[in-house]
Amino acid sequence: MGCLKGKVALVSGARQGIGRGIALCFAEEGADVLIGDLTCGEETAREVEAIEKLGCRARATQVDVSVREEVQGWISEGVSHMGRLDIAVANAALNMRQPFAEAHWADVQRTVAVTQFGVFHTCQLAAQQMLAQGGGGKIIVIGSIHAEHPFANNAAYDMSKGAIRQLVGVMANELARHHINVNMINPGWIDTPSEHVTRTEEELERVARRIPWGRLGTPREVGRCAVFLASPDAEYITGAEIRVDGGFKVVLTLPEPGSGGQK
C-alpha cells in the first residue's frame, strides 16, 4: 500500500464505472486525484468524500474532453490547486451503437470527438505539463478490446479506439527520453452502470457465461492494473498494452465447441 503516495493523478470520465474505479484505487495507494467528467453532481461529491476519507486530496471538475480549452482549464486549475501533475489517465469515451450503413453523421462526429480527440487533448496537455515540470510522469490510455476486434454496430467507437492505440505508440516513442511512460489498458466486458442501462440482467448473465473467467470484470480490476502502470514497478514499461478481460478476447477467435464455426 502507498506506492503512489505524494503523487497527483488526473482521471477523465471518473464520475462512475472504470474511471471511478481507477480514481479510488489511486487514492488507496496515496495519490491525490483530479476527477474530470462531463457531469459533476452528487456522484462526484460522494467520490471526493470517499477519496478524502482515505487521507488524500480530491477535486472534481466538469469538463468536456472534446473541447480542448476545457481540458486545458481543468489541468491548469488542478495543478494550481495540487501543485503538480504526475499521472494522467485518459479514460473518457462515448459510444452510440448503430449499424454502419445507418449511422447518423452527428453521432459519429460526437463519438470521435470524445473517444479519439478527447484522448489526444488529455494526453498532449498532460504531457506538456509533465515536460514543463521535469522528472517524468505516467500517461495511461484506457482503450478497449474494440481496438483489437471489429464489433458490429460500433464503427465510430472501434475506429476511435484503434486510432488511440496507434497514438499510444507514438507518444511512448517520443516521450521515453523524458522518462514519461505511456501505456494502454484494453478492458473487456466490465460491469459498469451503463451496461445495466443498455442491457437486461438476463442478457448480462448470458454474456458472463461466455467469458472464460465466468463473470464480467469490475472497475476495480481495471483500477488495480492502472495502479501498477502508474507505480515505480512499471518504470521500464512503455508503449505496452495490457488486456483486462478475463479471456474474453481469446474466445472471440475460437470456435464454439462442436460448432466448427467462429463466434
Q: Is 4 exposed, middle or buried (0-12, 13-18, 19+ CB in 10 A)?
A: buried
Distance CA 204, CA 217 (A): 12
Catalytic-role residue among 120, 157, 189, 248: 157
Determine contact, residues 139/181, Cβ cutoff 8 Å.
yes
Question: What is the per-residue burial (b if ≥16 Cβ within 10 Å, else e) of 228-248?
Answer: bbbbeebeeebbeebbbbbeb
Neighbours of 88 (CB within 10 A): 29
Is 236 marked active-site?
A: no
Distance CA 5, CA 173 (A): 27
Catalytic residues: 157
